[in-house]
Structure 1
Amino acid sequence: MLVGDVLAGMTAAVTHAARTGRAVPDARSSSPATCGACGAGAAWHRTVRGRWVMIEPGELPARVVPAGRRWRVAGDGTAVNLGPAVPSDTCRVSHFDVCPGRPAPTGSPVLLALWRGHARRVP
């Protein structure tokens, strides 16, 4: 990881914290969060590139989640995008892929079902 990537990630986190009035999450652990768009619970995790991503709770079989949408949370709390994975493996998904405040996901009935589940809970 380059120092520039770390600084860019920290700058984005501090700017977001200043805009929203929320503290910057600790990079070593997940930070519980509630999505401002739909009210669903998720957890903020820092990525290997120093950015932050909201990860949905629970795991899914990797075979039902499209490549590029599969995440794993490492022991240190870092979120890693898996890309291709062994079909018998498990993964997690980003809340941004299933948030009803965004367009419905295409190409995965499982992601669409999660999106619809969140959409039913939006007031």
Structure 2
Amino acid sequence: MAVLHGVSQPECLLCSSNGPDVHERGRIIPLSADLCDRCWNKVANELAVCEGATAAPDPEFGPDDLEWVEPRTCRQCHAPVRCYPTNYDRWVELATFELPAKKVPPGHRWRLMRPRAANTPIPVATVAIRIGAIDPTPGEPVIPAHEFVCRKQGG
């Protein structure tokens, strides 16, 4: 009976484990692979390091919090940055402006997507997606990763 118990549950693509924590991962663009929590965290962390999405998330505030919150700034150059979650639940700091794609190296090009709730036109979040599969046209606006435009990165 123990063998039949796991048959109805999805199997992790990487470690072949079965369980309630195995399911399809990714926001907006599903990764179309069933992964367990442990394998998902490993894959997402490796992808985050590759893409530069290693920022800490913004603190969460409750509805009764009344303290003032300053806009986020870069710890190195003190320029304002925007921090967004990625498709794989990690966070990236982006510049506050757009540039034409021809001025931003491919590894630093990001776009913001606004997923909508089911059966409604109302966006429920903003998610950063790194542009990688299809190159944008040279004049198409993209949002550069802050590390690309940071004034302190070069020296």
Same fold by TM-score, threshold 0.5 exceeded?
Answer: yes
Report the Cα distance in structure 1 between the residues aligned to 2:147 and 2:139, rounded to whole angstroms. 24
User: Normalising to structure 1: TM-score of the pair?
Assistant: 0.57
- Say whether 1:43 aligns with 2:94: no
1:24 offset after TM fit, Å? 4.7
- Largest Rg, 1 or 2: 2
- Say whether 1:23 aligns with 2:74: no
1:66 to 101, 105, 111: 105
- The one-letter code matched in structure 1 to 2:140 is D
Gaps of 5+ in 1: 10-15, 26-31, 105-123
1:95 offset after TM fit, Å? 0.8
The RMSD of aligned alpha carbons is 2.8
> Cα 1:95–1:24, aligned 2, differ >3 Å: closer, same or farther?
farther
1:102 offset after TM fit, Å? 2.3
- If each structure's helix is expressed as a fraction of its own residues, which one has the higher value? 1
In structure 1, what is the equivalent of residue 66 of structure 2?
A: none
Show CA shifts across 1:37-64 (max 9, x none).
1111011011112111111111111122
Report the Cα distance in structure 2 between the residues aligned to 1:36 and 1:66, rounded to whole angstroms. 23
User: How is 1:56-95 mapped onto 2 (pairs within 5 angstroms)?
Assistant: 56-75=95-114, 76-83=125-132, 84-95=135-146
Determine helix, strand or coil for the equivalent of 2:72. strand
Q: Could you say which structure has the greater relative contact order, defined with CA pairs below 8 angstroms and 6 or more residues apart? A: 1
Q: Percent identity?
A: 31
